[in-house]
């Protein structure tokens, strides 16, 4: 599943930028506790200069600078307990709230499912992943 998140972030930022030009409010939050290592530079959307940085920080910094967005980064593991705090600015009446999940373990996937199930329709989830020769949405 490595690489899905870093490959998906730039097109999502482009979409957010386009929607912003149409006066649509889009808030993005990257949650990832992984740190960029040399092996990530070889096959993911990171550079050698970003090694040692949190992936969420590196991607949000780069995309904010490129598109003038305000993507927030949380360099931590996904947490049910902190989810409401992280998403405090999201108004459920303003439109759809979507979690795009590209996690690589069942613990995180289960935590995200708990948030969606307990949200009474305020949150939806699109779960993505890939293996060497297959993938799922």
What is the domain extent for residue 40?
A: 4-86+96-136
pLDDT at 1: 42
Residue 58 counted as domain residue: yes
132 inside domain: yes
- Domain with residue 81: its CATH number is 3.40.50.720
Mean pLDDT of the chain: 88
For the chain, give the percent of residues with pLDDT over 70: 94
Query: What average pLDDT does the segment 43-70 reach?
Result: 95
Evaluate whether residue 31 is within a structural domain: yes
- pLDDT tens digits, residue range 66-92? 999 999 999 999 999 998 888 887 766
Total tally of structural domains belonging to the chain: 1
Does a structural domain hold residue 42? yes
pLDDT band at 114 (very low <50, low <70, confident <90, very high): very high
Give, as one character, the DSSP assignment of residue 131. Answer: -
Domain-embedded: residue 91: no
pLDDT in tens, 11-38: 999 999 999 999 988 889 999 999 999 9
Q: Does residue 117 belong to any structural domain of this protein? A: yes
Contacts 24+ apart (CB under 8 A), 22-28: 25/94, 27/70, 27/72, 27/89, 27/90, 28/60, 28/69, 28/71, 28/72
């Amino acid at each position: 599943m490595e690489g899905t998140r870093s490959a998906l972030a730039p097109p999502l930022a482009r979409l957010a930028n386009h929607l912003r030009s149409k006066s649509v409010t889009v808030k993005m939050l990257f949650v990832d506790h992984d740190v960029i290592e040399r092996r990530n530079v070889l096959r993911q959307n990171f550079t050698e200069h970003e090694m040692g940085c949190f992936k969420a920080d590196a991607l949000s910094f780069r995309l904010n600078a490129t598109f003038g967005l305000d993507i927030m980064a949380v360099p931590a593991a996904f947490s049910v307990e902190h989810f409401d705090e992280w998403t405090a600015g999201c108004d459920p009446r303003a439109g759809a709230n979507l979690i795009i999940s590209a996690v690589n373990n069942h613990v995180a996937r289960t935590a995200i499912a708990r948030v969606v199930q307990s949200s009474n329709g305020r949150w939806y989830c699109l779960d993505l992943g890939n293996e060497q020769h297959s993938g799922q949405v």
